[in-house]
Homo-oligomer: A and B are copies of this chain.
Amino acid sequence: MPTARRQISQKLIADEAGVSQATVSLVLSGRNVSSDNTRKRILEAAERLKYRPNLLVQGIQTGKTKMIGVMMPPYDFFWSEILYGIHDVLAAADHVPIMLWTSHRGPSPRKRNAPDGNELEQIHRLIDRRVDGVILWPPFASLFSDHVHEFSSRELPIVTIDHELPAEFRADFVGSEDHVGGRLVADYLLSLGHRRFGHIAGSSVATWAVQRRQSFDETVARIPNAKFKTLEAPPGDDYTLAIEQARALLALPDRPTAIFAATDLYAKQVYRAAAELGLRVPQDLSVVGYADDDFAEEMWPALTTVRQPAYEMGRKAAEIVLGRSTGKLSQKVPIKARLPVQLITRESAAAPPPSSGNGNGRAKSKSP
């Protein structure tokens, strides 16, 4: 009968097997080719006692906790997919994610996405538990980069997703080809005959947003008679703002015939604003989103959008933190991984209405 509420330790196994605790440690960790005899006794005792190693102790001993801080909420389909990717890679490597975030809720009318002022505390919760590295989602990385110094000053591996941190942080990055995505959309809309564009760009401090915007704008700007109007959002809650921006774009004197929304969530708001004005998508207004969220193909009409390989992005991010943590990834200069994107053509974009006074369909698009 073991004393009181004591854990089942290697010491216990040692006693059972008649060896020293050190030997148990060696055998259980497989670092030692002990004699088959003692080895067997130890293994059996461990089995019998249902021994389980204490990774806390291992952590303070080895400096590795096999825990990764993941500051990212299950915000929507896209981010959940990324979480799946992270999870799978970590689990396969015998690591676990500690998932934290700093806003109370997610998107959709029922949710909010406001910072709650506890960013520093959350960071400290990770540091105090000595995670081996962290993965950060864009709003956090962009809004609270000061706090991120808490990580970098302790030389914790950092990977950001969809937002590049300044070089001083020495953070790795995983994203998708945002600089390609904007161009894909622009080319597509131009080829349909559109010449007046609106763009709901998202936060001006988020690199994913900036790059989508730039590549879109640049591509459109090359066409002589094309016009475009871009609306940015201030850092912070951009979702509720999107509906107002959509209304603003549609109220323009020279109303755009196509709107590029930098996320599918924004696109949804564009649909609403269009409906308010009795504009039909795509007959009166073409809309293109970004991300290929799960609801995109069920929107009505189904949303044309740019698909990012979310699950793979999550995997990649996890692989990088693990690589940094274990030292297997030695490349000094921060990694900037960009996975390929793909235009998913559905039903929300078509040729502009004939009366629109600019481009009017593929056939005539070359004769201004």
Binding site for B on A (CB under 8 A): 50, 52-57, 59-60, 65, 67, 73-75, 77, 79-80, 83-84, 87-88, 91, 94, 96-101, 104-106, 108, 110, 118, 121-122, 124-130, 153, 294-295, 298-300, 311
Contact = CB atoms under 8 A, between A and B. Distances in A.
Contact of A294 (B56, B108, B299): B108
Contact of A99 (B75, B97, B106, B122): B97
A98 B75 CA distance: 17
Contact of A56 (B65, B108, B311): B65
A315 to B, nearest CB: 11
A37 to B, nearest CB: 27
Nearest to A80: B74
A101 B86 CA distance: 12
A125 B65 CA distance: 11
Given A124-B52, A128-B52, A74 B83 contact: yes
15 contacts: A52-B124, A54-B130, A55-B129, A56-B59, A67-B129, A74-B80, A74-B84, A80-B80, A87-B100, A91-B122, A94-B121, A94-B125, A97-B99, A99-B99, A294-B295
B96 A100 contact: yes
Which of A60, A100, A121, A294 gathers most chain B CB within 10 Å? A294
Nearest to A94: B125
A344 B151 CA distance: 46
Q: Shortest 7 CB-CB distances between A and B: which pairs? A: A74-B74, A74-B80, A56-B56, A55-B128, A99-B99, A56-B59, A55-B129
A84 B60 contact: no
Which of A96, A153, A295 gathers most chain B CB within 10 Å? A96
A294 B80 CA distance: 14
B106 A118 contact: no
A96 B80 contact: no
B67 A60 contact: no
A98 B97 contact: yes
Nearest to A92: B118
Nearest to A128: B55
Contact of A298 (B96, B98, B299): B299
A273 to B, nearest CB: 16
A181 B129 CA distance: 42
A355 B91 CA distance: 56
Contact of A91 (B57, B100, B105): B100
Contacts of A125: 91, 94, 96
Contacts of A77: 108
B52 A96 contact: no
A104 B84 contact: yes
A56 B52 contact: no
Contacts of A101: 87
Contacts of A105: 84, 311
B94 A84 contact: no
Contacts of A311: 105
B100 A98 contact: no
A104 B88 contact: yes
Nearest to A153: B50
Contacts of A54: 60, 128, 130
